[in-house]
Structure 1
Amino acid sequence: MSIYVGNLSYEVTQDTLSAVFAEYGSVRRVQLPTDRETGKLRGFGFVEMGTEAEETTAIEALDGAEWMGRDLKVNKAKPREDRGGSFGGGGGNRSGGFRNRY
């Protein structure tokens, strides 16, 4: 399981985010997604910690805390939803769902 960290400063680095979470336990991995077109940070990230207890402690301590001039949004990450591979999540089938029927 991992932790979602939202409302991050665009100046954050993996090292600085890792250091904040290391105060609450062992940090296994930090991910800071970037925009595909611009390469700039997207303002959120994910942190994986050593144990669920460490994750819970970090979430309780950091959710709503101010860091780098922003109030953090910290909670358990939700599983990524399958978007269907195309715009609108419809899977690209424009035939109304009858593609293989006839």
Structure 2
Amino acid sequence: MTLYVSNLAFQVTDRDLQSLFTPFGAVNSINIIMDKATGRSRGFAFVEIPDAAGENAIRELQGVDLQGRPLSIAPAKPKRDESDGGFQPNRNRNRF
């Protein structure tokens, strides 16, 4: 299961997240998303952990303070296909 972890303080490291999630199960990977222009964290990450461990982590860590910020944790949504440039036509528009 891949978890979306948001509201991270900019100084949170992989090691911080590893320490936080390891009590729930083996952490397979951690990916803190960095801003390409500044090299600074964008304040969210993806943590890959076994399914049952992920469900427990969501339940137990939701809102927990990490470096002064309450965490928000949810199952990650599948990556959106952007091969069309991300364009989503407005299907509710009236056609003439």
TM range (shorter): 0.7 to 0.9
- In the aligned structure 2, how far is the partner of 1:25 from the partner of 1:84? 35
Count residues with an aligned counterpart: 88
Output the TM-score relative to the length of structure 1: 0.79
- Give the number of the structure with larger relative contact order, counting CA–CA contacts within 8 Å between residues 6 or more apart: 2
Identity %: 38
Deviations 1:52-94 (A, max 9, x none): 10010001011111111001000100011123464xx33xxxx
Does the alignment pair 1:2 with 2:2? yes
> Where does structure 1 lack aligned partners over 5 or more consecutive residues?
91-102
Structure 1 runs of 4+ off > 4 angstroms? none
Richer in strand (by share): 2
User: What residue number does 1:95 align with?
Assistant: none
Q: Structure 2: how far apart are the matches of 1:85 and 1:23?
A: 41
The structure number with the bigger radius of gyration is 1
What is the RMSD computed on CA atoms of the aligned residues? Answer: 1.6
Which residue does 2:13 correspond to in 1? 13
